[in-house]
Amino acid sequence: MSAPAIGAGELLPPQEEKKNYLNVEHTVRSWLLTGDHKRIAILYLFSVSLFFMIGGIFASLIRLELISPSGVLLESETYNKIFSAHGIVMIFLFLVPSIPAVFGNFFLPIMIGARDLAFPRMNLMSWYVYWLGGLLISSGLILGGVDTGWTFYTPYSSLYSNTQVSLVIIGIFFAGFSSIMTGLNFIVTIHKMRAPGMTWFRLPLFVWSMYATSVVMLLGTPVIAITLLLVFAERTLHLGVFSPELGGDPVLFQHMFWFYSHPAVYIMILPSFGVISELMANFCRKRVFGYHFVAFSSLAIAGLGFLVWGHHMFVSSQSMYQGVVFSLVSFLVAVPSAVKVFNWTATMYKGTIRLQTPMIYALGFIGLFTVGGLTGLFLACLGTDVHLTATYFVVAHFHYVMVGGSMMGFLGALHYWWPKMTGRMFNDTFGKFNAMLVFIGFNLTFFPQFILGFMGMPRRYHYYYIAPEFMPYHIMSSAGASALAVGLIAPAFYLISSLRHGHKAGANPWGAHGLEWETSSPPIPTNFEETPIVTDEVYDFSAMDEYEHRHGSDEMAPAGGHN
């Protein structure tokens, strides 16, 4: 609870309802030219949801194809294009921007008590650049697609593939710049725009994780940009850099690609860590156990994440000694990740746990991320990795991290902050039921793939009639995918219907701690009436209860005035 600076006249009841960021202006122009970080977040929410749906359609086609061992639905080339499109759209247009560009954009300034991000116009530009990338990628997919996989390994991508690689690569190049702009904005905002009293160790853990994410975005993305630009140059100008035929080194491409693309995994998962820390604290009404450790483990993961890319290349021609070092450092990443999981679990101990929708997602996250993380150790180990490389075990592992981790975090964040963003409560019963459906559907989809991988089912194959014993697992997986699909589509319905039928949400419907709960729902355009002055520690629920007890209110007064 920060002590709001309240002027004498402000204690009188408000004369009329304040305009919030949604209804302050209504024209299309006011949305498309906005500098308000909250409106840009809403623009991003629509955009990433759209691309998530497109990526999901590709995923459904993959699962449909694999029901039958003989690959009856799609041609081999079509299947190659479908799984490439699934990977490219999901990674570059959904997972990377999802939580930072939507919830980071919306809540990071509010959580630190700022009126906006440091560079609002750059923030808006990042959305347009994201769409430029999105449209280029989409047009590439419509004009024939790519069959290289999302990894674009040379020389196939640069010399041989006869598909729309150039267009898609340039699209990814632009999408990368959008994420650089977001990361740069966040770093400057966190460093320079914290409200008085908002020290580094009073920052909510979501802000710490956004900071770590931004560092990775800033350091990693330029490298993928130049790497893909060189693949483009090799394709179009025959500049010899990566193709052995032109005297180049294809393994160098793999090094440079994974130098970004492994840290990119942390761009996708670190924001979720931040969301889960918020949910754990607020739905256990307890300070996160080992706050400092959780904060620094984000930075440790961001740092170590840059030193492990070689574990994607154990079966390439990199030297064995390199392999040993990369294996060791990959094991080290497990330490900060485990610190987080143990600390979240310890937070629940003697906490006042409330099993509302966001908390169900958070609990699901912990289970799924633990499985995803531990199976990562199988792959970090040189010996087992040689056996498991390019099998469904890898596919299952990274889906447990990316879908079970990042996407559960995204849904948790969406439900947690929905009342703040829209001013309406959704139906908690639907929400809880849906969270469990997602959890069950997800496990049914991806757990059989671990078994498939161990049995030897290679990834990126679309028929397996020589090994019909794979079929039951593929059917299980496809059945789970349908349940998962329902669980992912349902929120679109009950959340949107809550806009019309939901109860009005107060400033703090979850009884949560943090500056974003001290302004009105939805927030006013400038976030706070006056710049808040932070006087209490992070997640200090006892001080909050005491304040409420003293003031006899079940809802806190918004900072700097009323809503």
Partner 1 sequence: MASIAHGHGHGHDDMVVHVHHQFENIDQQNESYLVGMWCFLVTEIMFFGALFLMYTIYRMNYQNDFYGAHLELSQTASTPIAGPLVQMTGLKEFPVWGSINTTLLLISSFTMVMAVRAAQLRKKADVMKFLGATNVLAAMFLVIKFSQEWPPKWAHKMVPGANFGPEASHLHGASPRAAEIFYSLYFAMTGLHAIHIIAGIGVITALMVLWRKGAKSVTEDYVPTEMVGLYWHFVDLVWIFLFPLFYLIPG
Please give the residue ranges that form the binding site for partner 1 (CB under 8 A): 33-36, 109, 114-121, 180, 184-185, 187-189, 191-193, 218-223, 225-227, 230, 233, 237-241, 246-249, 252, 256, 259, 526, 531
Nearer to partner 1, 428 or 530 (CB): 530
Cα–Cα dist 522/267, whole Å: 28
Nearer to partner 1, 109 or 171 (CB): 109
Nearer to partner 1, 233 or 479 (CB): 233
Q: How far is the CB of 171 from partner 1 (least distance, A)?
A: 18
Nearer to partner 1, 191 or 551 (CB): 191
Q: How far is the CB of 524 from partner 1 (least distance, A)?
A: 13
Nearer to partner 1, 119 or 547 (CB): 119
Report the candidate in 544, 512, 508 with the shortest Cα–Cα distance to residue 420: 508
Instruction: Name all contacts of 378-383 with Cβ < 8 Å and 24+ positions apart.
Output: 379/311, 380/308, 380/311, 380/327, 380/330, 380/331, 380/334, 381/327, 381/331, 382/314, 382/323, 382/324, 382/327
Cα–Cα dist 55/345, whole Å: 33
Q: How far is the CB of 237 from partner 1 (least distance, A)?
A: 5
Nearer to partner 1, 249 or 536 (CB): 249
Q: How far is the CB of 190 from partner 1 (least distance, A)?
A: 10
Cα–Cα dist 449/444, whole Å: 9
Looking at the DSSP bridge assignments, the partners of residue 424 are 504
Q: How far is the CB of 371 from partner 1 (least distance, A)?
A: 33
CA distance to 275, 492, 500, per residue, from 495 (Å): 19, 6, 10
The Cβ of residue 319 has, within 10 Å, a number of other Cβ atoms equal to 9
Polymer length in residues for the chain: 563
Q: How far is the CB of 527 from partner 1 (least distance, A)?
A: 10
Q: Show Cβ contacts of residue 295 under 8 Å, excluding neighbours closer than 6 positions.
A: 201, 203, 205, 208
Buried b / exposed e across 167-178, counting CB within 10 Å, b at 16+? bbbbbbbbbbbb
Q: How far is the CB of 177 from partner 1 (least distance, A)?
A: 9
Q: How far is the CB of 512 from partner 1 (least distance, A)?
A: 25
Q: How far is the CB of 238 from partner 1 (least distance, A)?
A: 4
Q: How far is the CB of 563 from partner 1 (least distance, A)?
A: 20
Report the candidate in 394, 448, 5, 29 with the shortest Cα–Cα distance to residue 196: 5
Q: Show Cβ contacts of residue 323 under 8 Å, excluding neighbours closer than 6 positions.
A: 310, 314, 382
Report the candidate in 524, 528, 529 with the shortest Cα–Cα distance to residue 515: 528
Nearer to partner 1, 9 or 247 (CB): 247
- The alpha carbon of residue 44 and the mean position of all alpha carbons in its chain are separated, in whole angstroms, by 13
Nearer to partner 1, 36 or 65 (CB): 36
Q: Which two tokens stand for residue 298?
A: 């984000």
Nearer to partner 1, 117 or 507 (CB): 117
Nearer to partner 1, 252 or 436 (CB): 252
